[in-house]
Amino acid sequence: MNTKTPRPGFPVAQGLYDPGNEHDACGVGFVVNMFGRRSHRIVEQGLEVLENLTHRGACGCDPLTGDGAGILLQLPYDFFAVAAPQAGIKLPAAGDWAVGNVFLPPSEGDRAAAESFFEKVCREEGLDFLGWRTVPTDNSSIGSTARDVEPFIRQAFVGRTPKIARDHFEWKLFVLRKRFGIEIGSLGLTEHAFVYVCSLSSKTLVYKGLLLADQVAKYFPDLRDPKLTSALALVHQRYSTNTFPTWDLAHPFRYIAHNGEINTVRGNINWMRARESMLAHPVFGPDIAKVTPIIREGGSDSACFDNALELLVLTGRSLEEAVSMCIPEPWSGHESMADDLKAYYEYQACLMEPWDGPAAVAFTDGVRIGATLDRNGLRPGRWWQLKDGLVVMASEAGVLDLPPADVVRKGRLQPGRMFLVDTEAGRIVADEEIKQQIVTEHPYRHWLDKYMLELGKLPDILDLPEPDHETVLQ
């Protein structure tokens, strides 16, 4: 974590305090129509879940400044069909454009420089910059502490060009966002000028900030517009156990919202940096150098995990496989686990170390949405399925008033097991089905038997001479 040049409002390292030693525990939840039916009601219910998680958040001596809250939605096409033209933006066909909320400096000079640089990088990556829309905000309800470091929020609209395949569009948006975030420092903006892209996608959109749960809808009037519809809403109220809260560290991130602590984060970051020199891809290879470092400096444990998960998904792994790689079941001593599943986890352990700790993680790619617990199961999670296709998951019961007669089934998250709703298939996908699908995609046991070498067996495999004393000393 970068402790030398903190973002506005963030304390510098001093005495025994180091902002690199941070953890958090929060409230997380989602609502989704499993048949993929979009409505503004889903947005309203998501915000209601968020407000009912208020007690899981926190505030400081300024009671109107929270630790952060937000909501992730599917890209609301009907809303932008009206809002974009009002901002002078002409949108191409659905799927060929993307939008993201961007935190920009309040200073007009810094903001203009940052926007101009974003447009430049956009053109360099072969994308079509469509325009900016100023996001309406109302800061009358937020506290002075949050207002003192409040960014100017704009939406960047980006179009796909013919030379970029539609299934590569999300990757190029990722490259654009990463390059912008990495290279913005070269502009020489005013000290502490803060720039951050909350999301940039053709599938999802994130509204978040240094807010309390009940301030999100008040701060962003967009969320109250009936034309803003979605089939899913992922929400989060942050409780920064030891963390100094900031606008950008509010959840949701681009793929996840997280409750708990990733205790292995320092090792995870180090390993991700160590393997960056070996990263390669048959299609996106030339772009790899543009997106490193993968883990963003100054991110929380949750933000770092989101960075890693995003890379795995955008380079071709399914969302379910990427999550299971990072948050595996307790497999090594599991006597009743099927051998093919154990082989899958053993193989993935050679590629990715677990992001371990007491954690409940909700995740989505805009089509599928789900949640899982770390392998110790030390964070709560409850879910309900209703007759009309509504599915609710949250850190606790009681986040929505659900008529008992309408509840088809309910359950809880389990350690290392996945709860998943697929809005394309229109159903809840069982953990067993998910794991069976991913373990049969490749012959993991065969690969392990043929290619993996165990250090303890090396003397039997290699005929090595005994080293002389000088060599041992050296």
In this prediction, residue 2 carries a pLDDT of 40
CA 239 to chain centroid, in Å, comes to: 17
Give the C-alpha separation, 304 to 294, whole Å: 9
CA 54 to chain CA centroid, Å, is 21
Task: Scan for tokens 């999300």, then name that residue.
Answer: 170
In 3-state terms, what secondary structure has residue 104?
strand
Label residue 86 exposed, middle or buried (CB < 10 Å: 0-12, 13-18, 19+). Answer: exposed
Question: With contact defined as beta carbons under 8 Å apart, do 70 and 211 qualify?
Answer: yes
The helix, strand and coil proportions of the chain, stated in percent and rounded to the nearest 5, come to: 35, 20, 45
Q: Which residues of the chain have pLDDT under 70?
A: 1-11, 17-25, 55-62, 191-192, 240-243
Question: What's the rounded Cα separation, in Å, for the pair 161 and 73?
Answer: 25
Identify which of 66, 461, 77, 72 has the alpha carbon closest to the alpha carbon of residue 240. 66
Residue 6 is predicted with a pLDDT of: 52
Catalytic residue among 26, 122, 304, 326: 26
Q: Is residue 121 classed as helix, strand or coil in its secondary structure?
A: helix
Instruction: State pLDDT tens for residues 161-218.
Output: 999 999 999 999 999 999 999 999 888 888 667 899 999 999 999 999 999 999 999 9
Cα Rg for the chain, rounded, in angstroms? 23
Strand partners, 415: 373
Q: In what order do the strands lie in the sheet with 128-134?
A: 128-134, 152-159, 97-104, 196-197
Q: Is the preceding peptide bond at 151 cis, omega within 30 degrees of 0?
A: no
What does the pLDDT read at residue 24?
A: 44
**Tell me, what's the pLDDT at 165?**
95
Q: Output the pLDDT for position 267.
A: 95
- Other CB atoms closer than 10 Å to residue 451's CB: what's the count? 9
State yes or no: is 122 an active-site residue: no
pLDDT at 370: 97
Q: What is the pLDDT of residue 353?
A: 94
